[in-house]
Structure 1
Amino acid sequence: MTLKEHKKHSVLTKPALGHFARNEWAFVGTPCGEIKTLADQVIAALSSSYKCSYVDASHAHADAAATLPGRLAKGAVAEYTDQITYHQVDFTQPMNAFRFRQLFSEMDLVLVNGNHQQAQAQVVVIDERKRASLQKRVAQLTNVQLILLAEGTEQVFDFVQEAIPGWQALPIYKLSDTAKIVSFFQEQMQRAQPVLNGLVLAGGQSLRMGRDKGAIDWHGKAQRYFMADLLKGFCNEVYISCRAEQQVEVNNGYKTLSDTFIGLGPYGAILSAFREQPDAAWLVVACDLPLLDEQTLEQLTSQRDSAATATTFVSPHDGFPEPLITIWEPKSYPLLLSFLAQGYTCPRKVLINSETNLINPQHPDALLNVNTPQELEKVKRLLVK
C-alpha cells in the first residue's frame, strides 16, 4: 500500500448540517435591533409548526460581559437553573460548530444575528446605516437566498452585486414587507421537509417463532416482500433490513440494508439506516405485523409531524409508544446515538423520553405482532374471517 492509498478515517455520509443545524439563516446588513425584530416576526409566524431558535451575542458593556454569573465566578464550568417557565444553562467552555450542532440538533429553523455569527445561508439587508459594516462582511455572503431593502433604499449596493452572482434572480422585498418575508421562510421550510424512506425490519433471528418470520407467507408472498411492497406507496425508497449473511436470501428485486451496528436488534437497524442516509426520515416497520394495512400507513404518514422526533401510534396493548411502526425523523439520529452512549438500546425508551407525535390507531388490530407459533395460529384465524 502506498501513502496515497492510505485512508486515515472511515468514509461516512455526513448529515447536511450548517454551523448550527440543517436549516439556518443569518440576517446581515442592518442594526441588531432590526435583526431582532425581524427574527421575532418570523419565529412568531412559524413556531406553531416548527421548532425555531435564535442565535445572537450579548450587547452588554465589555466590563459587564467579562463578569461571570453565579457559580461560574466561583470556578464551576457549568450551572443549570430551572427558571420555571424555561431552562437556563450557563457554561464556560468555548463553543465551536460541533458543540453548536449538538445543542441545536432538534431545531428545525435557526435564525442568526449575522453581525456576530455566521450561518450556512444568508439574508442580506441593504441598509445605508450598515453599508460599511456589510462591506467588511462581504466574504460571509456565500449562500444568499433573500435580499431585503431597508426604508429609503432602492438599489442593491454595487459590492453586494459583485459578491453574489445571479443576484437579480433572488427574491428582493422591502424590509417592512413582513408577510412576504414570512412566506419566504414558510416555503423554504416546506421544501426542506426530509424525504421519507421505508425500512422493513427482517433481520431478527425469530427464536420464539422457530422459523424466519420474514419468510412466512400471509398474503401470497413472503412477509418481508409484502411489507416492502406496502411501503412503496408511501415512501421514496424502501429497503429490507437484514443481517449481512441474509442478503443473499433476499430477492434481487428488493433493496437491502445490512446492519452496521451489530448486536443491537431493531435499534441497530434504525441506526444503520440513518448511517446510510442521515438526511432522510425513515418509516420503520417490523416484518411480524401481518394485519398491517394501507389505511394504517395512510393514517401514520398523513399525521406525520416532521418537527417532532418521531411520529408513532399509541400501542393499544400497553399505552406506550409503538417503536416498530414509526416515522423516525433525521433529528432522531443524534438522539438515538446519545441514548446508545448512555447504554440504552430500546427505541421505545427514546420515544418516551423525546418529543414524540403520538396518534391513536384507527385500526388497533393492525398493530398486532406475531412472535410465537400460538400467536401465528390466532392471526391465521383472523385472516380467514
Structure 2
Amino acid sequence: MTGKPDQAAPGPIWGCVLIGGKSSRMGRPKHLLQRGDRTWIERTVTLLRLCVDRVIIAGAGSLPPSLVGVPRVDDVFGLEGPLTGVLAAFRRYPDVSWLVAACDLPDLEEDALRWLLASRAPGVLAILPDLAGDGRVEPLLAYYDRQCRPLLETIASTGQRRMQWLRQMAGVITPQPPIALRPSWRNVNTPQELGQLAP
C-alpha cells in the first residue's frame, strides 16, 4: 500500500462532553440541571451515543448515578477554557476523532450531531460552525479529527486559550448549519436564560 497510514486507518469517532466550566453565572453546576426526568448531561450523553462509538466526560464534578461508569478525563492543568477538556481527550486517546459537546446545550438534537459528521471530508481537521456567517465559530459543539491535535497543542504552547484561533488554520472549515438546526448551539449561562427555556 502506498497511502499514508492515517488515510488507511481513520480510527474511531467518540463523543466528549465538556463539564469543566465553573458555572459562576448560573450559580450551580450546569451539567446537573434537570429538564424533564433527566439532567442535561444525561441527555447529552444519550444523544452522542446515538451517533458515535463511545462517549467520555471531560472535567471535574459529580455525576448522576446513571453515568458513574462513563470514562472521564481530567482537564489539562494550567490551561483555561474549553481547550482544557478537548486537549485532555486527545492526549488520553490519541487515535480517536471527537464529536465535542458542551454540557449546557439544552436544545441539542441528534440531527445537529449528524450534520457535523456528514460535513467531514478528506483533509478536514476540524468543523467549527459559524452560525451567523460573521467569522465567530462555535468550538463547543464541533468535530475535531484526530489529526487536529497538533493545532490544539500549538494553541496550548503559545498560551492561547481562545479556540477561535483555529478558524484561520488550514484544514479547519466553518460551515453554517441549516437554520432549523441552529438552536442546538444555544447555550444557557444564567438563571434568567434558564427561565426562558420551554419545559
TM-score of the superposition, structure 2-length normalised?
0.87
Residue 260 of structure 1: CA displacement?
A: 3.4
- Could you list the structure 1 runs, at least 4 aligned residues long, displaced by more than 4 angstroms after superposition: 247-250
- Tell me, yes or no, if structure 1 residue 365 matches structure 2 residue 183: yes
The structure where strand makes up a greater share of residues is 1
- Tell me, yes or no, if structure 1 residue 223 matches structure 2 residue 59: no
- Tell me, yes or no, if structure 1 residue 329 matches structure 2 residue 145: yes
Partners in 1 of 2:99 and 2:120 — Cα distance?
10
Contact 2:167 2:174 in 1 (8 A): no
Q: Which amino acid counterpart does residue 40 of structure 2 have in structure 1?
A: Q
Contact 1:320 1:352 in 2 (8 A): no
Taking the TM superposition and a 5 Å limit, the aligned residue runs for 1:117-156 are none
Report the count of equivalent residues.
Answer: 196
Contact 1:321 1:352 in 2 (8 A): no
Q: Unpaired segments of 5 or more residues in structure 1?
A: 1-23, 26-108, 111-120, 122-187
- Tell me, yes or no, if structure 1 residue 343 matches structure 2 residue 159: yes
Change (3 A) 1:328 1:374: same
- Tell me, yes or no, if structure 1 residue 257 matches structure 2 residue 73: yes
Tell me the percent identity: 30
Q: Unpaired segments of 5 or more residues in structure 2?
A: none
Q: Which amino acid counterpart does residue 70 of structure 2 have in structure 1?
A: Y
Q: Which has the higher contact order (CA 8 A, sep 6+)?
A: 2
1:199-223 CA-partner distances (Å, limit 9, x unpaired): 0011211001111100011242111
Indicate the residue corresponding to 1:281 in structure 2: 97
Indicate the residue corresponding to 2:83 in structure 1: 267
Contact 2:167 2:173 in 1 (8 A): no
CA RMSD of aligned residues (A): 2.3
TM-score of the superposition, structure 1-length normalised?
0.47
Q: Secondary structure at the match of 1:313?
A: coil
Indicate the residue corresponding to 2:31 in structure 1: 214
Rg larger for: 1
Change (3 A) 1:372 1:279: same
Indicate the residue corresponding to 2:117 in structure 1: 301
Residue 253 of structure 1: CA displacement?
A: 3.7
Residue 248 of structure 1: CA displacement?
A: 6.8
Residue 319 of structure 1: CA displacement?
A: 4.1
Residue 195 of structure 1: CA displacement?
A: 1.1
Residue 306 of structure 1: CA displacement?
A: 4.8
Residue 247 of structure 1: CA displacement?
A: 5.4
Residue 359 of structure 1: CA displacement?
A: 2.2
- Tell me, yes or no, if structure 1 residue 377 matches structure 2 residue 185: no
- Tell me, yes or no, if structure 1 residue 315 matches structure 2 residue 131: yes
